[in-house]
């Protein structure tokens, strides 16, 4: 950027620090977005592991119920058939 002073001479404006501040702000924004991405990935992995554990617990409950029902059925006393006495 060129500035013209009161006496008519052209001078260049200093931009060094403002460009550096923009670069640092962009770097900080990039690092924050990377951290947010890592946190989101970690949460997604934890959610899938939790859903898998819930499914396992549900299947275990169904299997326990089936075993209990089978044992209850086997424990009912029944008369022996006529040929087995």
Q: What is the DSSP string of 19-33?
A: HHHHHHHHHHHHHHH
pLDDT tens profile 56-77? 999 999 999 999 999 999 999 8
Query: Residue 34 is encoded by which pair of tokens?
Result: 């990377």
pLDDT classification of 13: cutoffs 50, 70, 90: low
- Please compute the mean of the pLDDT values over residues 10-14 and round it to a whole number: 60
pLDDT classification of 16: cutoffs 50, 70, 90: low
pLDDT classification of 8: cutoffs 50, 70, 90: low
**Residue 82: its pLDDT value, please?**
81
């Amino acid at each position: 950027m060129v500035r013209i002073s009161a006496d008519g001479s052209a001078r260049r404006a200093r931009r060094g620090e403002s460009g550096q501040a923009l670069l640092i702000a962009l770097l900080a924004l990039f690092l924050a977005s990377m951290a947010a991405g890592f946190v989101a990935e970690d949460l997604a992995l934890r959610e899938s592991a939790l859903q898998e554990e819930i499914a396992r617990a549900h299947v275990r409950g169904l299997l326990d119920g089936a075993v209990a029902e089978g044992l209850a059925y086997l424990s009912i006393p029944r008369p022996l058939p006529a040929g087995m006495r």
